[in-house]
Structure 1
């Protein structure tokens, strides 16, 4: 995400938090400012986890998902989606410290 869009989203979130922006407008800003989480394949998920030096169960707990979900992502049975995909993208770009 560009720095300008990131700043716009932070400003909108602040306005929403204090009640100066309604939920509908905040959702529109989020859709505008935040790109879709990229699709991660099994090798990318494994690589991201290994960069964190976490086991599958610890990584799963860190992400708030089950150990079997992480195992299925790494085997290519399923793909991460929603908040998990977004978290993985942030961890890949900025490290686990960014979401800890």
Structure 2
């Protein structure tokens, strides 16, 4: 994390201790710093194309239907990803990345 963010948080703590910043404002600052620290610990999800998803399914011997069920998606969505008509995004992409990296145990 950028040192300046932590420095700003420390400055805010000093102001808070002396009544210059309200409890609510200090809570918002601490929450934002914690969120930034959390985001920095998480790997960025890499885009997966149709071949990547087909290979992933083959590696774990999953049908389109079972992958769709595991991701809480429709079989049509998985099929469109594999044909290159759409690309997975959001939570589905994050789960595909986790499955790729950690295997089926992510669903246990």
Q: What TM-score does the superposition give when structure 1 sets the normalisation length?
A: 0.69
Q: Indicate if the aligned counterparts of 2:48 and 2:93 stay in contact, CA closer than 8 A.
A: yes
Counterpart residue number, 1:37:
45
Shift of 1:50: 1.5
Unmatched tracts of structure 1, length 5 or more: 1-21
Shift of 1:38: 0.3
Counterpart residue number, 1:80:
88
| Structure exhibiting the larger radius of gyration computed from Cα positions | 2
What is the aligned counterpart of 1:67 among 60, 69, 75?
75
Q: What TM-score does the superposition give when structure 2 sets the normalisation length?
A: 0.65
Moved over 3 A (4+): 22-26
CA distance in 2, matches of 1:60, 1:25: 35
Counterpart residue number, 1:28:
36
CA distance in 1, matches of 2:88, 2:48: 7
Residues 45-56 of structure 1 correspond to what in structure 2 (within 5 A)?
45-56=53-64
Cα distance change of structure 1 residues 23 and 67 upon mapping to structure 2, 3 Å threshold: farther
Name the SS of the counterpart of 1:38 in structure 2. coil
Shift of 1:92: 1.0
How many residue pairs end up in the alignment?
A: 79
Unmatched tracts of structure 2, length 5 or more: 1-29
